[in-house]
Structure 1
Amino acid sequence: MEELAKGLSGEIPVKVPIPQQLQLIQNDKERSAAMRQWWKAYTDRYPEFKADRSDKDFVYIVKRGGEQT
């Protein structure tokens, strides 16, 4: 449970709500394409963040950097 609280990368994630209009798309291909477009625009605006994980309603993001390779 602590892993979820800190995020998969070890940092505390920030919840970004997935827009309602994307959640309402029924066609899987259309929803996937719309989500990719939305996420690309988001990462272009905030390049210092990356997705840590997601669920039905949120994408959880953490700052880039800090991870060990």
Structure 2
Amino acid sequence: MNLSSRLTFEPFRIWWTINKGPKMDLTKETSFSPQTASKIWKDRFPVRSDVIETICSEYGLSIEQVIRYKKEGE
């Protein structure tokens, strides 16, 4: 298993579901392309680090609230 398959945006998706609206509103609020938003919703990496930084900055989240590393077997 490569490193990128162990990374997940699950913390951000949970936060978004609780605090925001439809998934595609992310593109409106951040100016991310639909392709970038799709990568976030489907854990399709690689994703540029500035995307993660934008999410942290825009929504006042720590990196742990945006992305996490899954342990083997999860």
Query: Where on the TM-score scale, by shorter chain, does this alignment land: which range?
Result: under 0.3
The structure that is strand-richer by fraction is 1
TM-score by length of 1: 0.27
The structure that is helix-richer by fraction is 2
> Which has the higher Rg, Structure 1 or Structure 2?
1
